[in-house]
Structure 1
Amino acid sequence: MAWIGVDLGTQSVRAVLVEATGEVLARAARPLTSRRGEVWHEQDPQEWITAVEQVLAEVASFGEVEGLAICSTSGTVLLTDLDGRPVSPALMYDDARAANFLPRIVAADPDRWGSAMQPTWALPKILWLDPAEDQLVAHSADVVAADLAGHPVATDTSHALKTGYDLVDVGERGSDAPGADGAAAPGGWPASAFERLGLPGHLLPQVVLPGTLIGTVSVAKAQVTGVPAGTPIVAGMTDGCAAQIAAGALTPGAWNSVLGTTLVLKGVTKDLITDPTGAVYSHRHPDGDGWLPGGASNTGAGALTTMLPGADLDALDRAATQLAGPVGATIYPLTKPGERFPFVAPEAAGFELGDVPDDLHRYVGVLQGVAFIERLAFEHLTKLGAEAPRSVALTGGAVRSEHWNQLRADVLGVPVELPEAADPAYGMAVLAASGGTSVAETARRMVRIGRVIEPRPSDRLTDLYGGFVAELDRRGYLR
């Protein structure tokens, strides 16, 4: 028996076939293209559909497929017709063209959205798209699942979060009817607020918990993909949550830190934590009995390519491992203007502390700056009531850097784990394999940790971190 996970990423579609032991039987990927402007970012949803058909056809023959789940970028949204077929471009997760709609959204429900809503979330973009009466709102994963099933499908609580879905209880359940298995998700669409925004409930998808059956592969798609007709399609999650499942960080005290172009932290709490600054938001635990708090920073490895254009980053990393200790330079690298986690500061700008005499110091200075933001993020989460990390599973492209992995363990002061297969597609295969049972237990059986890196104490790093935080405070970012 094996399960397929599909990840609709920004640059590619990826699929993985995983058996019950956690062994990867097959992988496939196809590239995606984007259209970008100064504040906008679009993709053609038909390209997703074609790419998913291709990757499924490539992996399906390597095992007996029992089910599949799909993840996609958080906040990506588009419109479909009443049959679930795309009728608009997809406005991607970082598309900020709808920023002018934010005051209108906050005015519709200040208590709900006064600090939580951000310009790149899905709800402002829906207002910009201005759906007609015969159109539906959908997220990336919804569109692909609908194409595989041959009909519109329910969305999940994870994708619905940035569309304005209330994960707790609004006392009014809007359009959120039971899902395919008859079980509605906790919470609901805030119908009154949506009415004030001119968005009637019938435009919005039904919402179910991740892992809920939402359809089966149609006969037509079985012929194209090789996935047997009738194969269950279960509701997925956003890519950050999918990576957290793949990392096995599904119990309090276990955290997942995804460091790619940007830095994203995800953890687990028993009770919902609230952040008055809006830097932290929480998804529901896929098992429905807890929460996944976290946030996404504008710092990350993406800054290395812009700050060191043309540099051999692998060579710099090898040189960094030969250093006797930390360098005296700390760089706060932002991949775009402003910061959103662990503090919200639209005016934030990057800066450098100490001497940066050469590329090696600049390289290590960036690594140290990101590690310091990571530590500050954990401190912020702990102050809000989250359990301090016992361990942190590191995922994302930055795990290729041996120096960075050790540095992050040293700065955080806890062991860091490197899972063998920690990509979002793998997480969706684990979710599909849970079959309505505990996702945490399924992950415990399937997720394999390849290596554990222990922290080394460093007074020098402690001093550098103190100076970094003091500079953030001096600039007014930590207000």
Structure 2
Amino acid sequence: MSVWIGIDLGTQSVRALAVAGDGRVLGTGSRPLTSHRDGPRHEQDPEQWWRELAAATREALRGVPAGERVEGVAVDATSGTILLTDAEGRAVTPALMYDDRRADATRANEAGAAVWERLGYRRMQPNWALPKLLWLLRDAPPGARAAHQSDFVNRRLVGHEVATDLSNALKTGVDLIDERWPSDVFDVLGVPEGMLPAVVRPGARLGTVCAAAAEETGLPEGTPVIAGTTDGCAAQLGAGARQPGSWNSVIGTTLVLKGVTKELIHDPLGVVYSHRAPDGSWLPGGASSTGAGVLSRDLPGADLDALSRRAAERYGRRLPPVVTYPLVSRGERFPFAAPAAEGFTLGEPADDVERYAAILLGAAFVERLCFDYLDLLGAPVDGEIILTGGATRSAYWTRLRADVLERPVTLRENAEPALGMAVLAGGDPAAMIRTSAVVEPSDAGVRGPYLRFVAELEQRGWLDGRAAAHARERTTR
């Protein structure tokens, strides 16, 4: 029996899975990670990544029967996290995490405007890796090298310098079309030649586990180490959204959509950007600021499972009469850019059950609007829709999302980033990714309430007229 190891190096923890070729999880391991936060500052200690990754991997391997062969290992990491190392791979700065906002993107956007436009996302945000790299360069020691979170631990695994993957390099400004660093842009920005690692596609072989790493992690020496992806792309791989037109919709604290297209999608608003898939296709996506995070804020201490059951009993497959636009924080990022957007409720909830259902309905409406906007950009949206994230624990919310989308939705038995990395490491996705259910939509009379919600967003000046008109046109087809 062959075994693949997938490792999810996140913000709060590192998780390792040992997965058999038929999809059975033979062993798991998890270790917490700590952060240092202060206003816009968010740092982590890279050495802790390695220590806890090694411990989690050893724990996961305890479940692998003796004599079974470990065929490969791959690691995903948080998008936009970066640090500086010396020539031997030792950290010389803390790691600036994905949401550290001390940098300014002005210089990067001025120097790289033509490239960012060509790549479809138009502009960088202050928390992207390239602005943070420029911020770190102010006090960089001679000979310092840039490393993403995954690069740091992959180097420890193989014992020598490694290439970075195109997915983690996206927010550092890699040219995803030519699959190289845009040297003319970095010359203007003063990034020293040789500071950046070589780039490869996710799924490329980086080397094999060295003796020192084998001793610390328990991975057999000589195990192939495969270039991973960002955590979001890893979750998409774990969900099995791999064919053009298929989408993974994740509702956790916030809503994230990621799909597959043959061609690069260009977004005039810059709210959709695309990663490069291992096979050369494209992985467009966007992240909304709406989601389940509003539930804990607006219903503190509530038994959400009980509210879900009561909502299902009260409304069945009918829509709730009240809808909330559930913004977790001020400002929206997708399917439109509106820094001043704030949450609102249309109607007056009678009690906590109605307040709960209104939040769920609003998130489902935003999810549908995301698909309307992606269709406007020319992305195929007619394939399988796979739902993952904490929201799928609510059967009521899942049914409501199917009704609002007016599409069947698929649930997986196990869809997590670490599984996606086990697949990328060489496992067979057809065998390792299992469907638990397909939920069919019912006629819940969604179109009128949805269009009133769209009209409200347009009236407030957040959703532009072209996107609103397209949503109306798709709804009345």
TM-score, normalization by structure 1: 0.91
Q: Residue 190 of structure 1 aligns to which amino acid in structure 2?
A: P
| Match of residue 150 from structure 1 | 159
| Match of residue 301 from structure 1 | 292
1:216 pairs with 2:208? yes
Query: Shift in Å at residue 109 of structure 1?
Result: 2.5
1:359 pairs with 2:344? no
Gaps of 5+ in 1: 170-186, 435-441
Q: Residue 112 of structure 1 aligns to which amino acid in structure 2?
A: V
Would you say the 8 A contact 1:329–1:356 is kept in 2?
yes
3-state secondary structure, aligned to 2:206: strand
1:363-397 C-alpha deviation (Å, 9 max, x unpaired): 11111111111111111111111112332111112
| Match of residue 15 from structure 1 | 16
Q: Residue 169 of structure 2 aligns to which amino acid in structure 1?
A: A
Structure 1 residues 64, 475: closer, same or farther in 2, change over 3 A? same
Aligned partners of 2:411, 2:437: CA distance in 1, in Å? 5
Q: Residue 430 of structure 2 aligns to which amino acid in structure 1?
A: R
**105, 111, 123: which one pairs with 1:116?**
123
> Which residues in structure 2 correspond to 1:383-422 (within 5 Å)?
383-422=376-415
Aligned partners of 2:305, 2:112: CA distance in 1, in Å? 49
Query: Shift in Å at residue 326 of structure 1?
Result: 2.0
Query: Shift in Å at residue 155 of structure 1?
Result: 0.7
| Match of residue 3 from structure 1 | 4
1:243 pairs with 2:252? no
Aligned partners of 2:115, 2:341: CA distance in 1, in Å? 25
Percent identity over paired residues: 55
> Which residues in structure 2 correspond to 1:29-428 (within 5 Å)?
29-61=30-62, 62=64, 63-98=68-103, 101-113=104-116, 115-130=122-137, 131-169=140-178, 187-288=179-280, 290-324=281-315, 325-428=318-421
Q: Residue 303 of structure 1 aligns to which amino acid in structure 2?
A: V
Aligned partners of 1:362, 1:44: CA distance in 2, in Å? 41
Query: Shift in Å at residue 125 of structure 1?
Result: 1.2
Would you say the 8 A contact 1:328–1:354 is kept in 2?
yes
Would you say the 8 A contact 2:29–2:58 is kept in 1?
no
Query: Shift in Å at residue 121 of structure 1?
Result: 1.2
Would you say the 8 A contact 1:240–1:424 is kept in 2?
yes
Aligned partners of 2:234, 2:180: CA distance in 1, in Å? 22
Aligned partners of 1:112, 1:470: CA distance in 2, in Å? 35
Query: Shift in Å at residue 28 of structure 1?
Result: 1.3
Structure 1 residues 133, 337: closer, same or farther in 2, change over 3 A? farther
3-state secondary structure, aligned to 1:107: helix
3-state secondary structure, aligned to 2:194: helix
1:411-437 C-alpha deviation (Å, 9 max, x unpaired): 111111111110000000000015xxx
Q: Residue 304 of structure 1 aligns to which amino acid in structure 2?
A: L
1:146-187 C-alpha deviation (Å, 9 max, x unpaired): 112222211101001111111013xxxxxxxxxxxxxxxxx2
Query: Shift in Å at residue 223 of structure 1?
Result: 1.4
Gaps of 5+ in 2: 465-477
Aligned partners of 1:455, 1:87: CA distance in 2, in Å? 54
| Match of residue 454 from structure 1 | 440
Query: Shift in Å at residue 475 of structure 1?
Result: 1.4
| Match of residue 475 from structure 2 | none
Aligned partners of 2:224, 2:303: CA distance in 1, in Å? 45
Query: Shift in Å at residue 200 of structure 1?
Result: 2.0
Q: Residue 192 of structure 2 aligns to which amino acid in structure 1?
A: P
Structure 1 residues 190, 132: closer, same or farther in 2, change over 3 A? farther
Aligned partners of 1:354, 1:39: CA distance in 2, in Å? 36
Q: Residue 420 of structure 2 aligns to which amino acid in structure 1?
A: G
3-state secondary structure, aligned to 2:438: strand
TM-score, normalization by structure 2: 0.91
Query: Shift in Å at residue 350 of structure 1?
Result: 1.6
